Structure 1
Amino acid sequence: MSTATLAGGCFWCLVKPFDQWDGIKEIVSGYSNGDEENPSYELVSTGTTKHVEAVQIDFDENVISYREILEIFFKTFDPTDNGGQFGDRGPQYMPAIFYHNDEQKEIAESVINELEEKEVFNAPIITPVLPYKNFYPAEEEHQDFYKKNAGHYKAYYKGSGRQGFIENTWGEQ
């Protein structure tokens, strides 16, 4: 089993895209790479803890590779914006790839370079590739939000601008 830790704005929107793939064993919404131990949503929302909303994905590399995880990931957010994502602004919503080992770092840098060469986005990719520091699961109400609160999730996904960006960049998802 391997682990990927990824941030792309609101963690609600980073679960569903991975939930449909074979080899994905668990997806946990939470807070990564900050200074406080066991932070709450309210504390992270202040933008003062250095945590970012993220997901931690446990996956079977014999079924789905880390590269494939990143290829899915880059179709879920705007990697050219590090001031937040769509309607969510602030450092707690910045995108990032938190690598767990040198191989993950190399793969992440390679995927970014390939996307840059293809000129998929209208601006340079500025999503940082950072060493993994920590991860704390979010409160239960934030886990699998798209399933528990489907109407709210769909309205947020569209209303935040995320859906339009993804459709304009990648086509119908």
Structure 2
Amino acid sequence: MSDKKFEKATFAGGCFWCMVKPFKEWDGIHDVVSGYMGGHIENPTYEDVKRGDSGHLEVVEITFDPSLFSYEQLLEVYWQQIDPTDADGQFQDRGHSYSTAIFYYTDEQRRIASLSKERLAASGKFNKPVVTPIRPAEDFYHAEDYHQDYYLKEKEHYKEDREKSGRDEFINKHWS
């Protein structure tokens, strides 16, 4: 039994397939799970969420060791994966279920996320307002098994989908 103290962070950043790998690459990240949060039905399926009537967003739930990788660092990685000025989805994925959000578990996470958002908005990186909401965490529902670690299970499809999305071009333009 480990005496490490893990914390959770949950982020919506469009398609969850593209949000797993950037976080899994760091020491201190224990797990990254694809799932759903923020809606009004219990135990939603991918079809419920994709249809757009469940109210849920596609999210990644990250379990991390804050002594090795801080919440501030998670936010830095998060901001660099999304278009924080787009309230209607992310890249090729459109609609509410693909919109962005930071879900906080503690007042400290809310405070840190708010400061991080304010710094990003003041940075001049974007010519439109940063619209990513900061919301209290709600029940997290695991996505179906075939969505977990999709970038490893379906390497070619993941690569093709990511290339078509426009995400990497946006990231390179704003963060390189």
Q: What is the TM-score normalised by the length of structure 1?
A: 0.97
Q: Which of 78, 86, 94 is residue 91 of structure 2 equivalent to? A: 86
Encode CA deviations 1:35-63: one digit per residue, 9 max, x unaligned.
11111101111101110000000000010
Runs (4 or more) in structure 1 with deviation over 6 Å come to: none
Give the C-alpha shift of residue 115 in structure 1. Answer: 1.1
Give the C-alpha shift of residue 33 in structure 1. Answer: 1.3
Give the C-alpha shift of residue 122 in structure 1. Answer: 2.4
What does residue 138 of structure 1 align with? Answer: 143
How many pairs does the alignment contain? 171
Give the C-alpha shift of residue 119 in structure 1. Answer: 1.1
Q: Which of 15, 18, 22 is residue 10 of structure 1 equivalent to? A: 15
What does residue 116 of structure 1 align with? Answer: 121
Q: What letter matches 2:25 in structure 1? A: Q
Q: What letter matches 1:15 in structure 2? A: V
The correspondence of residues 1-173 of structure 1 with structure 2, limited to 5 A, is: 1-171=6-176
CA distance, structure 1, for counterparts of residue 82 and residue 40 of structure 2: 25
Q: What letter matches 2:112 in structure 1? A: I
Structure 1: runs of 5+ lacking an equivalent: none
Give the C-alpha shift of residue 106 in structure 1. Answer: 0.4
RMSD between aligned residues: 0.7
Using the aligned pairs only, state the percent identity. Answer: 49
Q: What is the TM-score normalised by the length of structure 2?
A: 0.95
Structure 2: runs of 5+ lacking an equivalent: 1-5
CA distance, structure 2, for counterparts of residue 154 and residue 115 of structure 1: 29
**Greater Cα offset, 115-124 or 74-83:** 115-124
Q: What letter matches 1:132 in structure 2? A: A
CA distance, structure 2, for counterparts of residue 167 and residue 152 of structure 1: 21
